[in-house]
Amino acid sequence: MNQNIPELYGSMIFSDKVMRNKLPKDMYKALRKTIENGTHLELDVANSVAVAMKEWAVENGATHYTHWFQPMTGFTAEKHDSFISPSGEGEVIMDFSGKELVKGEPDASSFPSGGLRATFEARGYTAWDPTSPAFIKDKTLYIPTAFCSYNGEVLDKKTPLLRSMEALNLQAVKMLKLLGNETVTRVSTTIGPEQEYFLVDKELYEQRKDLVFCGRTLLGAPAPKGQEMEDHYFGTLKPRVSAYMHDLDVELWKLGIPAKTKHNEVAPAQHELAPVFDTANIAVDHNQLTMEIMKKVAEKHGLVCLLHEKPFEGINGSGKHNNWSLITDDGVNLLNPGRTPAQNIQFLVFLMAVIKAVDDYADLMRISAASAGNDHRLGGNEAPPAIVSIFLGDELNAVLESIENDTYFGKQEKIQLDTGAHVLPHFTKDNTDRNRTSPFAFTGNKFEFRMLGSSASVSTPNIVLNTAVAEALAQFYQELEGTRPEDMEKAVHELLKRAIRKHKKVIFNGNGYSPEWVAEAEKRGLYNLVSTPECLPYFVKDRSVELFTKHHIFTKEEIFSRYEILLENYAKTICIEARTMTEMLTKDFLPALSAYSGEIADNASAKKALLPSLSTAAEERLVTELTEAYAAITDGLEELKDLTAKAAQAGDMKQAADICREELLVKMDALRGTADRAEALIPDCELPYPTYDRLLFSL
């Protein structure tokens, strides 16, 4: 069937076009003003929007509405209410008011709050975010909202993101004005998140408790083939995968999510989807929805979409690349090097602000990508290292060098100049080779933050980045404030020079995967925070609290609560993994191992009974090996159970997380090693769950 894609695209969102058609003119104008400038929305406008929204939703088959929010679980939350309102005996009308649109009051007590909210203060509020379009899914009208507690403490991932966008807008516009730009009134952050994922057959998935409970395999010997042939990356799409991807695109397009690129990734069964970039807030909402719909569409195809950062040992895990830039309300990308020197000044100041931000707050950037799942990737030879550094490419590097050394930048020989003025170079879009090993790379007209895990919300890294860049711009502003316009170019040049000297340590254009870089980074004094429990304490340091409170992103209490939530999430994740491994080994693997070695022993005895001269040395060796593995796993399981209990009883969350990292995970690794070696000795038909061969190569 041929689908009219332009017609289908966005058909399930309360789009600008629908608004214009359904709303009285003055109401439409008032709503646009709120969306574009963040002005307060009057109740009469809200009422009018509610009527239009309900009408549109009902026309499109909706019976319910829900406030849709992003609590600290990392997932989205929803509670559906029907539109029905009794209007007489046995009769109802479909009703929806401005008040219901604007505010919801879900019980907040069962969402993670990190100790912010006592259980007796159960009430929470959701507040409509008119900047992100409402949409229809599963016969329900979804209204994107922010979520906070009864006392106004933030309990979600949207509110701080909106605040950070506002903080950055404020500082960026101030800076642009200072630099003589009189046209810009608003600066927005744009994001394009590239999403990696795995697809596995649903029937196979359901036979593995580790995949069902943890999203990753905790056991499993490697398949004879992994990714070494490099034949999967950009390879031809298999029919089942292609059909899935097509359906996924259509579902996303209906919701106005501009899914653009799709391809096979490096590991077998691994794929990627990237949308066209959008305003940060909308892109974050869209990425949450994308992850959800990826899973849902997979079910329809008898597949399961795995978003875990490390579903399989021995092959690449999945990440999410956060492409980030700044755009003015007159359409200029501030990270586009541009062609005229005036634009160049802007570009260089903003470029330098990003470099400074990432250098000054590298610890927070690292934290923004920290999770139990992502710890398996960062620092492995598949994802950027845990060290935050910036890749600029040869051309920009040369530009910064010329500023630092007062040399002229050009294609010709470098010429010394005696004055600092007029040295700001003219150059075009960076077109140097791509560097795939850098955690934070300049890619022509945007930065690409590559540390993020595939299952994470893209909100946190953008909160950190926006806030840190806002702070860098604020500091630059202070340095430049009061400069006369005719002296500005020289002052900017001097500022850039100082900033380059201070922050060039964070710039690294070499191979981020090499061991030499780890040593070099240490010499440069960069952080190398290899695990979640190691990096999280930096979140609650004074510097971090100062940054976030100064720009009104989080209060001190909110920071500490988030710290608790992150630690708790880490410890709980690993404890669930430990319990799942215990269960799989005890109930599935050990019985299979025992049965098989018994079978071999019986066979050997039978042979001996029949022909006493036959050698059963091979059987004896195998039975010995299996029996030793059985004993080692049984002993290891006792220790694993003790350690799981120890983590559960730890005095505080940091201690629990440390036990998980330093003891529990180590034990699990050792147990896995033993079990995987034994698995390789047992025939597939005797194993209690499907092996890597089938999981990775059956589609």
Tell me the two tokens of residue 548: 């976030």
The single residue among 100, 153, 194, 309 that binds ligand ADP, judged by CB under 6 A, is 194
* Residue 262 binds Mg ion (CB under 5 A): no
* Residue 277 binds ligand ADP (CB under 6 A): yes
Reported as half-sphere exposure (CB side, CA atoms, 13 A), residue 548 has a value of 24
CA distance 351 to 357: 10
Query: Which listed range, 203-211, 256-264, 318-326, 568-576, lies at the site for Mg ion (CB under 5 A)?
Result: 318-326
The single residue among 117, 137, 216, 321 that binds Mg ion, judged by CB under 5 A, is 321
Report phi then psi at 139, rounded to 5: 55, 30
* Residue 383 binds ligand ADP (CB under 6 A): no
Minimal CB distance residue for ligand ADP: 192
Q: How far is the CB of 391 from Mg ion (least distance, A)?
A: 12
* From the list ligand ADP, Mg ion, none, partner contacted by residue 274 (C-beta under 5 to 8 A by kind): ligand ADP
Report phi then psi at 463, rounded to 5: -60, -50
The single residue among 85, 110, 151, 261 that binds ligand ADP, judged by CB under 6 A, is 261
* Residue 190 binds ligand ADP (CB under 6 A): yes
Q: How far is the CB of 522 from Mg ion (least distance, A)?
A: 28
Q: How far is the CB of 308 from ligand ADP (least distance, A)?
A: 22
Q: Which is nearer to Mg ion, 220 or 384 (CB)?
A: 384
* From the list ligand ADP, Mg ion, none, partner contacted by residue 190 (C-beta under 5 to 8 A by kind): ligand ADP
Q: Which is nearer to ligand ADP, 281 or 325 (CB)?
A: 325
Q: Which is nearer to ligand ADP, 23 or 469 (CB)?
A: 469
CA distance 444 to 442: 6
CA distance 412 to 570: 54
Type of residue at 22: K
CA distance 386 to 367: 10
Q: How far is the CB of 448 from Mg ion (least distance, A)?
A: 5
Please name which of 627, 618, 620, 638 lies closest in space to residue 593, comparing C-alpha atoms: 627
Q: Return all residues near 589 (Cβ < 8 A) that are at least 6 apart.
A: 219, 633, 675, 679, 688
* Residue 209 binds Mg ion (CB under 5 A): no
Report phi then psi at 309, rounded to 5: -70, -20
Q: Which is nearer to ligand ADP, 249 or 479 (CB)?
A: 249
* Residue 276 binds ligand ADP (CB under 6 A): yes
Q: Long-range contacts for 523-526 (Cβ within 8 Å, ≥24 apart)?
A: 526/362, 526/387, 526/388, 526/389
Contacts of ligand ADP in 322-351 (CB under 6 A): 323-325, 333
Pairing assessment for the beta strands 77-82 and 64-69 based on DSSP bridges: antiparallel
Q: How far is the CB of 282 from ligand ADP (least distance, A)?
A: 12
* Residue 438 binds ligand ADP (CB under 6 A): no
Tell me the two tokens of residue 652: 């505080």
Q: How far is the CB of 461 from ligand ADP (least distance, A)?
A: 13
Q: Long-range contacts for 207-214 (Cβ within 8 Å, ≥24 apart)?
A: 207/689, 207/690, 208/689, 208/690, 208/695, 209/580, 209/583, 209/584, 209/588, 209/689, 210/577, 210/580, 210/581, 210/584, 211/304, 211/306, 211/311, 213/576, 213/580, 214/308, 214/573, 214/576, 214/577, 214/580
Q: Which is nearer to ligand ADP, 336 or 573 (CB)?
A: 336
* From the list ligand ADP, Mg ion, none, partner contacted by residue 276 (C-beta under 5 to 8 A by kind): ligand ADP
Q: How far is the CB of 454 from ligand ADP (least distance, A)?
A: 15
Do 251 and 293 form a contact (C-beta atoms < 8 A)? yes
Do 667 and 643 form a contact (C-beta atoms < 8 A)? yes
Q: How far is the CB of 644 from ligand ADP (least distance, A)?
A: 40
Q: How far is the CB of 323 from ligand ADP (least distance, A)?
A: 3
Do 139 and 62 form a contact (C-beta atoms < 8 A)? yes
* Residue 282 binds ligand ADP (CB under 6 A): no
Could you list the residues that contact ligand ADP (CB under 6 A)? Answer: 190-192, 194, 261, 274-277, 323-325, 333, 445-446
Could you list the residues that contact Mg ion (CB under 5 A)? Answer: 321
